[in-house]
Chain A
């Protein structure tokens, strides 16, 4: 019912132009928030200077929502670490340059750099972190490894986390508005777990196939 009801095109304000490099990200009008919103998948990110939302669905993956609180420029990424052995979180923490964390570093650096390229200032950045749910029981806690990584990364970069909703057993749907900093998080029922795990696994398999050395364009 809800999906059939869309206001006629003439009722909608024009979609704000995307920043260079983000033309491929899917965006559409969201009735609930009365705003355009981009929807990103595992491995993607999106940065905007406009009043629009960025949404994603997270299982054990992490999304960092980062914005310049003065200028309202900001964005969201969606990533996880590809390593399979997370039994020793201590060593993971100690080896931030290892292969395991390389993709996390890329995701974080790309998001921060892109915000700064578009006028954001480092001293104005505020960060909110979501995801890292333990959505499969009996497996190593991939979500916790991702949480540990992002907290460690932000601490090393000296960036302050102003809000987070991480861990626990739930997948999450996140909507972030960089212009205001507003975030809406909705926990999802476990009916969706397997489909989400499946998507995350496909993303991990695709980045694992990338060569280990050299510059890699991940996004």
Chain B
């Protein structure tokens, strides 16, 4: 039986899962050090090294085409220096979020298909960041990877209503987005639930706003530009997934989002293709066990 709609809030759902999904230790350690004015990049490198699996992934990523550094990055110390401490913090979250959510299974979408969209969004966001300039590509990457996490909570906690929302999208006479269908059947959407989790986890404001407002970029207060970039990246990730360059095949992009970012539809082709190409190279690092 479903809990009666309207009686449950996004915050209730997040409370329900607090024992099942937690932020990874390596992220929490690095987070404390980055915020501590007395810590050095040596301290951060040491914190990275304590997590063998993160260390391996970080070095592989640093040597991938995504960064294309001129020389081999063969030590953690070099990676932290060359990538930057705040950026390594972002990557600690990015590289562990898929395994963090393994405790929250569901029958509505395979984890691989779910994270595929998220990773394509992250890659598109990274590429958009390069086009838009003056923007932290690693933070945007993390925002892209996390933007739909509320979906995994809804799918796990409210499976019947979530399925009804997906059926509405499939069988409605008019085109309806998933978040509109969720609003209709549940009373709130994955953006509300994801936003509640980001607040509970005390994630940086940029991530909180990107997760909560990527379908309504006009609501962003502190980071309108980054939220607009994730809004665009979400649509372009869907194009990358269905291998199309027609904007009609993706959820509509708010014209104000183009304005806020100073970008236009002329970048669609290059961003979609860049995301598709990078996906094959780095999929294993983010989605593999």
Q: Which of A's residues lie within 8 Å of B, judged by CB?
A: 1-3, 28-32, 37, 39, 55, 57, 170, 173, 186-196
A39 touches B171 (CB 8 A): yes
User: Is B180 in contact with A3, judged by CB distance below 8 angstroms?
Assistant: yes
CB–CB B174/A30 < 8 A: yes
Using a CB–CB cutoff of 8 Å, the interface residues on chain B facing chain A are 107-110, 113-114, 116-117, 163, 166-167, 169-176, 178, 180, 184, 238, 241-244, 249
The closest CB in chain A to the CB of B120 belongs to A189
Contact A189 B169 (CB under 8 A): no
Q: Which of A1, A170, A194 contacts B242 (CB 8 A)?
A: A170
Other-chain residue from B173, B176, B180, B242 in contact with A189 (beta carbon distance below 8 A): B242
Q: Look across to chain B and name the residue whose beta carbon is closest to the beta carbon of A28.
A: B173
Q: Which residues of B contact A196 (CB under 8 A)?
A: 170
Q: Is the CB of B167 within 8 A of A195?
A: yes
B254 to chain A: closest CB distance in Å?
12
Q: Given A1-B180, A3-B180, A195-B163, do A32 and B110 touch, yes or no (CB 8 Å)?
A: no
* Complex Cα spacing A30 to B176, Å: 12
Interface pairs A-B: 4 shortest CB-CB: A190-B113, A187-B242, A195-B166, A28-B173
CA distance A196 to B241 in the complex (A): 17
B249 and A57 contacting across the interface, CB-CB below 8 Å: no
A20 to chain B, nearest CB (A): 24
Cα-based distance from A3 to B242 in the complex (angstroms):
24
Which residues from B are CB-within-8-Å of A188?
A: 170, 242
Q: Is the CB of A193 within 8 A of B176?
A: no
- Do A191 and B174 touch across chains, with their CB atoms under 8 A apart? no
Residues on A with C-beta less than 8 A from B116 are 190
Complex CA distance for A188 and B166, rounded to whole angstroms: 12
User: How far, in angstroms, from A139 to B163 measured CA to CA in the complex?
Assistant: 23
Chain B residues positioned under 8 Å from A192 (CB to CB): 166, 169-170
Residue from B117, B176, B238 within 8 A of A2 (CB atoms): B176
Q: Is the interface of A mostly helix, strand, loop or mixed?
A: mixed
- Closest residue of chain A to B174 (Cβ to Cβ) is A2
**B241 interface neighbour in A1, A28, A186, A190, Cβ under 8 Å:** A190
Known contacts A194-B107, A194-B108; A31 and B113 CB within 8 A of each other: no
Which B residue's beta carbon lies closest to that of A168? B243
A31 touches B110 (CB 8 A): no
A188–B239 alpha-carbon span in the complex (Å): 10
- Contact across chains for B178 and A191 when beta carbons are under 8 A apart: yes
- Asked if A3 contacts B174 (CB within 8 A), the reply is yes
13 contacts between A and B (CB under 8 A): A2-B180, A3-B172, A3-B180, A30-B174, A31-B173, A31-B174, A186-B249, A187-B242, A187-B244, A188-B242, A191-B113, A194-B110, A195-B163
Closest chain-A Cβ to B108's Cβ sits at a distance in Å of 5
- Additional A-B contact list (12), CB under 8 Å, known A57-B171, A191-B109: A1-B180, A3-B172, A30-B174, A37-B173, A173-B170, A190-B109, A190-B110, A190-B117, A191-B166, A192-B169, A194-B107, A195-B166
Option from A3, A173, A193 in Cβ contact (under 8 Å) with B113: A193
A191 nearest in chain B by CB position: B109
Shortest beta-carbon distance, B123 to chain A, in Å? 16
Q: Are B184 and A3 in contact (CB under 8 A)?
A: yes
Q: Find out whether the CB atom of B170 lies under 8 angstroms from the CB atom of A195.
A: yes
Contact of A32 among B174, B178, B242, B243 (CB under 8 A): B174
Q: Which residue of B lies closest to A6 (CB)?
A: B174
Q: Which residues of A have CB within 8 Å of B243?
A: 187
Would you call B174 and A194 a contact (CB within 8 A)? no
Q: Which residues of A contact B163 (CB under 8 A)?
A: 195
* Residues on A with beta carbons closer than 8 Å to the beta carbon of B166: 191-192, 195
CA of A196 to CA of B114 in the docked complex: distance in angstroms?
A: 15
Roughly how many angstroms separate A31 CA and B174 CA in the complex, as a whole number?
Answer: 7
The residues of A that contact B113 with a CB separation of less than 8 Å are 190-191, 193
Q: Please give, as numbers and ranges, the residues of chain A lying within 8 Å of B171 by CB-CB distance.
A: 39, 57
User: In whole angstroms, how far apart are the Cα atoms of A186 and B173 in the complex?
Assistant: 14
A173–B171 alpha-carbon span in the complex (Å): 9
A196 to B174, CA, bound (A): 18
| Shortest CB distance B36–A (Å) | 40
- Shortest beta-carbon distance from B215 to chain A in Å: 10
Residue in B closest to A53 when the chains form the complex, CB atoms = B173
* Beta-carbon nearest neighbor of B164 in chain A: A195
Inter-chain contact A191/B244, CB cutoff 8 Å: no
Q: How far is the CB of A178 from chain B (nearest CB, A)?
A: 18
The smallest C-beta distance from A64 to any residue of chain B, in angstroms, reads 20
Q: Which residues on the A side are within 8 Å of B114 (C-beta)?
A: 191
CA distance A55 to B174 in the complex (A): 11
Closest B residue by C-beta to A196: B170
A194 to B184, CA, bound (A): 21
